[in-house]
Amino acid sequence: MTTLEEPVQAPAAAFRHAITDPTRVPVERYFSPEFAELEKNKLWTRVWQMACRLEEIPRVGDFTEYRINDQSILVVRESEESIKAYFNACRHRATSLGDGTGTFHGGQIVCPYHGWRWNLDGSNSYVYAERGFTPACLDPDALRLRECQVGTMFGMVFINMDPDAEPLEVAMDGIRQKFDLIGFDRMKVRWWRHLVLPGNWKMAQEAFMEAYHVMQAHPSLSMGAADEDYDVDALGGDFECFGNGHGHALLSSSGGTPVAGMSLADYFIQFNNALYVGTDAYTTDREMFIQQGLLEKDIDENDFPMAFFQALYEYAQGAGIPLPPPTTETSGYGHIFPNITVLPAYGNSIIYRVRPNGDDPESCLFEVWAVQIPTAEEADVDRPELEGPIPVEEWPQIFKEDFLNIERQQRGIHTQGLSDLIMSEKYEAMIVNSHKTIDEYLAR
């Protein structure tokens, strides 16, 4: 069952390369500088977007820089309870106030050029030789750092450059209720890596917004399954999409396996093994330890998955791991509009964030977080550090397979005579919904 709340369709004449048929996506949306400029001015300046994870700014005074297109935003831990997001420019002569990640010591944001200072709440605290400026130049409101809207959810910090944008809680309606069941707010970073991909940010994002590609692209996961082996929903058609662009895949209610002739236990074990080797994220040492212990017991093959989850929760209780209660209402994977994909499992998740690489419409910054609910002893983790850029050939196999196909797609869209991409409203519902929501922003 695919449920799709239809957003308002953008008028065809509102801008070039708008979606007029949800099953057809004009290829220019993936390489046109004109279209990228529209997104730059009308999407990224108005949409709620993940700027960082809470672990990146654990202590008062900590900051991290978030860049999108030509904009730089400083996300600052103002107090234990409050986070601020400032446009990263001195009010004097526009010098960047912070680069990368660091700490503003003494509760002061200091301009490295002329030494002007601001408190963590954005108010100006010092102007060097202020007697040389007219009183109008020293007006406190004029000197305040300019703010973005900021909010926290799912263990992440979101910002919005539009002061009139709806609150984060409203913007996340629908997906928030589903993701709250997963326990993202309890997860901590195991590793955080990135690379620059030769593909449009949407092209890269969409590779992880459907499961339709798994049978061909990921042989270690499909395990030789043929078309007829798959239940249509298991293939990636059981979606719930929302009018604000978010969407998620519902857990399949099918009790069988996607591979004919393979026992439920064999499929479950091999799938976990493939994800452990192929991602180092979706299945971790913790789950492999539990699975190995069960292999030494005499368990009916049809009961193996249930025995695994029972053992996982018993282990979690003993280790002080606050796993969320089991529920069939949770998500297999999901999309936070416009550029976050999550793949949760077993109290851990893979998280993808994709952004334009400056003004280049044919390359993107691609980040991957491996996060997990820690044990009580692991709760105080270090501030995560971004690794990379890591070349495609050095990523685990499943990531590598996806990255190479993104490169192939970006080359292919320039083929003469190819005017649009064909989309399935069933298997690629989240992609269809995302494009429609993008057009809502661009038509404003």
Task: Name the one residue in this structure whose structure tokens are 């005499």.
Answer: 298
Query: Alpha-carbon dihedral of residues 164, 166, 167, 170, nearest 10 degrees?
Result: 180
Whether the pLDDT of residue 131 is over 60: the answer is yes
Binned at pLDDT 50, 70 and 90, residue 231 comes out as: low
pLDDT at 11 over 50: no
232 pLDDT exceeds 70? Answer: no
Encode pLDDT of 378-419 as tens digits: 777 789 999 999 999 999 999 999 999 999 999 999 999 999
Residue 258 has pLDDT above 90, yes or no: no
Beta strand segments in 198-302, E: 239-241, 247-250
The sign of the CA dihedral 181, 371, 56, 245 is negative
pLDDT surpasses 80 at 354: yes
pLDDT for position 383: 92
User: Is 329 a residue whose pLDDT tops 80?
Assistant: no
What local confidence, expressed as pLDDT, does residue 260 receive? 73
More confident residue, 129 or 330: 129
Is the confidence at residue 1, as pLDDT, over 50? no
Distance CA 29, CA 35 (A): 6
In this predicted structure, the answer to whether residue 429 has a pLDDT above a threshold of 80 is yes
Single-letter residue type at 109: I
pLDDT at residue 6 in the model: 53
How confident is the model over 91-107, as a mean pLDDT?
97
Structure tokens at 230: 């798959």
Q: What is the mean pLDDT of residues 58-74?
A: 97
Query: Is the pLDDT assigned to residue 135 strictly greater than 80?
Result: yes
Cα separation, 238 vs 429, in Å, equals 9
Q: Is 233 helix (H, G, I), strand (E, B) or coil?
A: coil
pLDDT tens readout for residues 167-191: 999 999 999 999 999 999 999 999 9
Return mean pLDDT, the chain: 91
The stretch 125-149 carries a mean pLDDT of: 97
The string of DSSP codes covering 357-417 is: ETTEEEEEEEEEEEEEPPPGGG-SPPPP--B-PPPGGGS-HHHHHHHHHHHHHHHHTTSTT
Confidence of residue 14 (pLDDT cuts 50, 70, 90): confident
Per-residue model confidence (pLDDT) at position 64: 98
Q: Could you report the per-residue pLDDT of 297-317, keeping only the tens digit for each?
A: 999 998 999 999 999 999 999
Measured CA to CA in angstroms, residue 442 lies from 33, 40, 147 at distances of 14, 10, 23
pLDDT band for position 253 (cuts 50, 70, 90): very low
- Asked if residue 82 has pLDDT above 70, the reply is yes
Q: Which segment of 32-36, 104-108, 231-235, 263-267 scores lowest on mean pLDDT?
A: 231-235
pLDDT at 332 over 50: yes
Q: Which of 12-16, 17-21, 214-218 has the highest mean pLDDT?
A: 17-21
β-pairing, 340-345 vs 348-357, is antiparallel
Instruction: Give the pLDDT band of residue 229 (cuts 50, 70, 90).
Output: low
Residue 315 tokens read as 């282990």
Q: How confident is the model at residue 84 (pLDDT cuts 50, 70, 90)?
A: very high
| pLDDT higher than threshold 60 for residue 8 | no
pLDDT in the model for residue 10: 44
